[in-house]
Structure 1
Amino acid sequence: MMGNQTAEGPKHKKDLTRRKVVVAGAGAAVAVGVGGTLAAGAFAGEKSAAGTTASASGSASETCYKLTSETTEGPYYIDADKLRKDITEDQEGIPLTLRLKVIDSETCKPIRNAAVDIWHCNALGVYSGYEDMGSGGGGGGGTPPSGEPTGEPPSGEPSGGPGGGGGVHQEPTDDERYLRGTWRTDRNGTVEFRTVFPGWYQGRCVHIHTKVHVSGTWTDAGYEGGNTCHTGQFFFDEESVLASAEVAPYSTNTTTRTTLDEDTIYSDNGTEGGLLKLKYRKNGIAKGVVATITMGVDPEATHDGTDDAVQPGASASAS
């Protein structure tokens, strides 16, 4: 089952804590990189883009800090994704290894067996499950992006593309589920996903959505019960986005790009706000990127991202 919504309304609106995920088939394809070569090679030996092996358990320098910023869930969350670590399917793009760690922000202890969701658009700004929404012009002729800021902050009501969907959940328009997945944290509170570097669409900077669910039960069918203790987004620095814009298929995305500073959701507070630490070879981003971040959460809280989770001064209209 691919998790289509029924006429009764979005499942997560009826039961925010119930998680039903489907085990992915073993035949899922890896991302296809530049020039049509398989991206799987970029992950060989679990090496980072800089050529060094990154630690999945983080470093001793980690300290307890404020709660990671809560944000809007956005309109394109589907509460019936696949239980898998590799979410690329057949999507082309720069290989991305996303290494996440979940800790209790008060005790700094790792949270094990949490269910972590991630979902994001593809290189041309399209979300699976919502392909009819388009990408606000991605890949459709015109002049390739220059990488320069637009000069004008987004209005909060961008026209066309996923950005125009607002913060209210929308029903899926198709059965595609690429670049979506759920996996559990290990005893160190870590989880790793393999995907592709996200593209952009009108009104938003480059980002990845995430949810963290705790206190539930893992079953043969997936994850059930518990509470959603964190809903957030991960962000990419401008240097990496500019570098990605030079690589196909990102270079064919003609949608006006919103910069990190212009974005209405990013709270401009670094790691606490979801800014990823990135590693990749200089002038060689096409070979792959390793992104890491530690999320400080309150396991006893409930943050489903459907109400007032957006940072002060931000707008939920472009999500």
Structure 2
Amino acid sequence: MEDVSDTRDLTRRKVVVVGASAVAAVGLGGALAANAVAGEQRGEAAGKSAESLAEECYKLTSETVEGPYYIDADKVRRDVTEDREGIPLLLHLKVVDAETCRPIRNAAVDIWHCDAAGVYSGYEDMGNGGGGPAPTGEPPTPGPSGPPPGGGHQEPTDDTRYLRGTWRTDRKGFVTFKTVFPGWYRGRTVHIHTKVHVNGEWTDAGYEGGSTCHTGQFFFDEESVLASAVVEPYASNTAERTTLDEDTIYDGSGVQGGLLKLRYDKNDIAKGVRASLTVGVDPEADNTGQ
């Protein structure tokens, strides 16, 4: 019987080699058109860049816990902002098969996150970290007013659904959400939750069936979080903030671990932020984050 894993490894090596060869050809053309030394340097740089991209393509994005505040896809929409105030955030994702690099089309991608005050919709009775205004005085103990990071699922306490939504990837694997820059709460760094569902069916009612192949979280670098912290309404969030390095969920592996690539005006982040990431998944896996 054929060893599937060996076949996949062989396919991976073939694609990487082909990619490197194609870049070498482009580098040669550039050398003929310009100075030989400069062209060789450019060719080497391009080759290294292409090799890095190929290697990155074959990395699975880190799986994480689902967290206590997931609500199954009941808001099929790209703009999840509703009435939440905050720095505009455009989240641009590409979902690919980490084994083949091919885009995954018609996948259902969920995102959900807290608002500037650390409030999660659907859980407004649970205090900062689960909903409601940021608490004052002594930090809450684990329980109804703030369960520990990665705790078991909590049943919703209300019907609010801001900063939550599901949308499908296009034929190139892209999906974009319009939201706001998340805030923070005690025990966690700034983050956005996500799930990727495949092999289901899109109907008039939404997305049905299929399986969850990825459960993860997206993270923001410290520079961007510090910049947001001086802008209202974030500046009014008095909750103790956990840095990216201190977070117990982020694995420190950069983009593979869900660290977003950000673009914004360094002098005025309030104008808005563009965030992007390629999410590598195994469409045959079952990763519910439980």
- TM-score by structure 2 length? 0.77
Aligned to 1:222: 206
Q: Which of 111, 115, 118 lines up with 1:125 in the alignment?
A: 118
Cα separation, 2, equivalents of 1:166 and 1:296: 22
Q: How does 1:27-38 map to 2 (within 5 A)?
A: none
Which whole-Å deviations, capped at 9, do the CAs of 1:239-281 have from their partners, x for residues lacking one?
0000000000000000000000000000000000000000000
Preserved contact between residue 229 and residue 298 of structure 1 (Cα < 8 Å): yes
CA separation of 1:121/1:162 partners in 2, compared to 1, >3 Å: closer, same or farther?
farther
Q: Structure 1 residues 163 and 263, CA, compared in 2 at 3 Å: closer, same or farther?
A: farther
Gaps of 5+ in 1: 1-58, 143-156, 307-319
Cα displacement (A) at 1:160: 7.4
- Worse-superposed segment, 179-188 or 128-137: 128-137
The structure richer in helix per residue is 2
Q: Find the counterpart in structure 2 of residue 313 from structure 1.
A: none
Give the Å deviation of 1:282: 1.1
Q: Does 1:134 align with 2:137?
A: no
- Rounded to whole Å, the distance in 2 between the matches of 1:165 and 1:230 is 19
Counterpart Cα distance in 1 of 2:234 and 2:281: 33
Partner-residue secondary structure (3-state), 2:243:
coil
Alignment pair present for 1:92 and 2:85: yes
Q: Which amino acid aligns with 1:292?
A: S
Q: Give the superposition deviation at 1:221.
A: 0.5
1:243 is matched with 227
CA distance in 2, matches of 1:249, 1:276: 22
Aligned twin of 1:277: 261
Distance 2:239 2:285 in 1: 38
Q: Which residue of 1 aligns with 2:31?
A: none
Give the aligned partner of residue 69 of structure 1: 62
Q: Which residue of 1 aligns with 2:155?
A: 171
Matched, 1:289 2:282: no
> Is the aligned partner of 1:212 residue 2:196?
yes
Change (3 A) 1:291 1:282: same
Contact 1:104 1:111 in 2 (8 A): yes
Of structures 1 and 2, the one with the larger relative CO (CA 8 A, separation 6+) is: 1
SS of residue in 2 equivalent to 1:71: coil
Identity, % of aligned positions: 74
- Trace 1:3-152 onto structure 2 (pairs within 5 A): 62-63=53-54, 64-135=57-128, 139=134
> Is 2:61–2:280's contact at 8 Å kept on the other side of the alignment?
yes
Residue in 1 that maps onto 2:9: none
Tell me the distance in 1 between the aligned counterparts of 2:144 and 2:126: 8
Q: Distance in 2 between matches of 1:268 and 1:243?
A: 21
Q: Residue 162 and residue 110 in structure 1: after superposition, are their counterparts in 2 closer, same or farther (change >3 A)?
A: farther
Structure 1 residue 166: deviation in Å?
Answer: 4.5
- Structure ID, larger Rg: 2
Unmatched segments (≥5 aa) in structure 2: 1-48
**Distance in 2 of aligned mates of 1:166 and 1:226:** 24
Whole-Å separation in 1 of the counterparts to 2:200 and 2:259 = 28
Distance 1:235 1:132 in 2: 25
| Pair 1:114–1:95, CA change in 2 (3 A) | same
Deviation string 1:83-122 (CA, Å, 9 cap, x unpaired) is 0000000000000000000000010000000000000000
Residue pair 2:106, 2:168 contacting (<8 A) in 1 also: yes
Question: Contact 2:88/2:181 (CA < 8 Å) preserved in 1?
Answer: yes
Distance 2:147 2:94 in 1: 28
TM-score, reference length from structure 1: 0.70
Alpha-carbon contact 1:124-1:199 (below 8 Å) kept: yes
- Kept after mapping to 2: 8 A contact 1:68/1:274: yes
